[in-house]
Amino acid sequence: MKIINVVGARPNFMKIAPIVEAMNTEPDKIHHILVHTGQHYDSHMSQAFFDDLGISEPDVNLGVGSGSHAEQTARIMIAFEKICLTEKPDLVIVVGDVNSTMACTITAKKLGIEVAHVEAGLRSRDMSMPEEINRLCTDVLCDYLFTTDHFAIENLKNEGVADNRIFFVGNVMIDTLYRFKEKAKRLNMPSKFGLQPRQYATITLHRPSNVDDPKILNGILDAFSQIAREIPLVFPLHPRTKKNAESFGLSHYFSDNFEKGRIRVMEPMGYLEFLSLNMHAKMVLTDSGGLQEETTILGVPCITIRPNTERPITCEVGTNHMVGNDPEKIFEIAAKIMSGNRVKGGIPEKWDGKAAKRIVEQILEIKKIKAEAVN
Ligand code: UD1
């Protein structure tokens, strides 16, 4: 069976790594090709993750780079179509919800190639999020929908998806977390920054809804600077956030050391370094999807700076608090966490480090059933 695995942007790498590893255990049954669209291209947004996660170099890099949504999506589709025509895969696997996910799904389906979506069924119901559009388009087209939790299954069923397209397998991002937790721990990043465990917090922020509007970004950074009067903050800056903060004249909130009232910023970090910091943090402030899940497993409180989440399981079972982007509310919840005792959340069903193995078993089972039907 010939399979193309697709990656494009930072969160995809953690999701594909365990799938590739699981496929490598079936060399007689699966021949797999890794295609990187090149949506993310800076070494600290892409290559660093290949190095940290031990993923071999992509077989193909489409090198599409940045652009408007239409430009980027179109460039991926044009380049990926050529690969599909040359390679003629039996199956394309896409992960997550970035532009590469949707673009490769549409391209493959129009060529009559089957597509499987890993992390299917997540819904924020917020159509101002580009990722929600990507998720909806991808799921409506994909043949096989691998889900992480009961909310995703319910969403797909409510949209009329037949049961035989839905497979509850767990969470591949958590496979990677378990696989690399000890290695990350040994890096001991807090001590490299001179920080004590549980006496600092980490931040990520890059959603257009938070960082593209000067007033909103100013309000959020102001809340962070208030928190930074109480506790050191570590903030690896996404390129979009860095560019906007500079052009809006907001760099005065930042510092390259732990000054009280200012946020320590730096280049984006590799997977292991950031995991090492997050596992010992007092709390994580973020608008990322993946971090809501990782903090749930790490038992670290997460403040999500968004009005909604496509990952409600992290609030139902885990350590996630949805606070939106109101500066007062962000500070209020952070203050509560800083003064309170940690409440340990639970672990969602099947977030056990074996999701990728289940996916590969399922794919082989589907292939077997199809082959029997033909004979
Ligand atoms: C993308 C994903 C988002 C994901 C995020 C993780 C979409 C629609 N969005 O958002 O879901 O959470 O990745 O980081 O797919 N840039 C660089 N170097 C890079 C990549 C980007 O400098 O390697 C800069 C460029 O100026 C670019 C901007 O960042 O225009 C945004 O990059 P883009 O890939 O368009 O979206 P992200 O905001 O990274």
Q: Is the CB of 360 under 6 A from ligand 1?
A: no
Q: How far apart are CA 353 and CA 301, in angstroms?
A: 21
Distance (Å, whole) CA 290 – CA 190: 21
CB 338 within 8 A of CB 66: no
Position with higher pLDDT, 292 vs 374 = 292
Closest residue by Cα to atom 26, ligand 1, is 240
Q: Looking at ligand 1, which atom is closest to the CA of residue 67? A: 30
Q: Give the separation between CA 35 and CA 6, rounded to whole angstroms.
A: 5
User: How far is the C-alpha of 95 from the C-alpha of 8, rounded, in Å?
Assistant: 9
What's the pLDDT at 128? Answer: 95
- Positions marked catalytic: 206
**How many Å lie between the centroid of ligand 1 and the Cα of residue 66?**
7
Q: How many CA atoms lie within 13 A of 49 on its CB side?
A: 24
For residues 327-342, one letter each, b for 16 or more C-beta atoms within 10 angstroms of the residue's C-beta and e for the rest, the string is bebbbebbeebbeeee
| Percent of the chain scoring above 90 in pLDDT | 97
Amino acid at 73: T
Query: What is the three-class DSSP state of 6?
Result: strand
CB 45 near ligand 1, within 6 Å: yes
Q: State the angle between helix axes of 10-24 and 172-187 in degrees (0 to 180), rounded to the nearest 10.
A: 100
Quote the pLDDT of residue 219.
98
Confidence of residue 212 (pLDDT cuts 50, 70, 90): very high
Termini Cα distance of the chain: 17
Q: Which residues contact 160 (CB under 8 A, 6 or more apart)?
A: none
What pLDDT sits at residue 107? 99
Residue 51 has pLDDT above 80, yes or no: yes
CA of 203 to the centre of ligand 1 (A): 17
User: Which residue of 15, 45, 98, 128 sits with most ligand 1 atoms within 8 Å of its CB, as the best mutation to test the pocket?
Assistant: 98
pLDDT tens per residue, range 68-118:
999 999 999 999 999 999 999 999 999 999 999 999 999 999 999 999 999
Name the pTM for this structure: 0.97
- Tell me the chain's radius of gyration from C-alpha atoms: 20
Average pLDDT, the chain: 97
- Is 342 a residue whose pLDDT tops 80? no
40: CA distance to ligand 1 center in Å?
A: 6
pLDDT band at 345 (very low <50, low <70, confident <90, very high): confident
39 lines ligand 1 (CB under 6 A): yes
131 lines ligand 1 (CB under 6 A): yes
Task: State CA 201 to chain mean position distance.
Answer: 20
Q: What is the pLDDT of residues 296-326, one digit of tens each?
A: 999 999 999 999 999 999 999 999 999 999 9
Residues sharing a CB contact under 8 Å with residue 72, sequence separation 6 or more, in sequence order: 39, 64, 65, 66, 99, 103
pLDDT value, residue 273: 98
Q: List helix spans (H) across 69-112.
A: 69-87, 99-110
8 A C-beta contact, residue 235 and residue 203: yes
- What is the model's pLDDT at position 374? 87
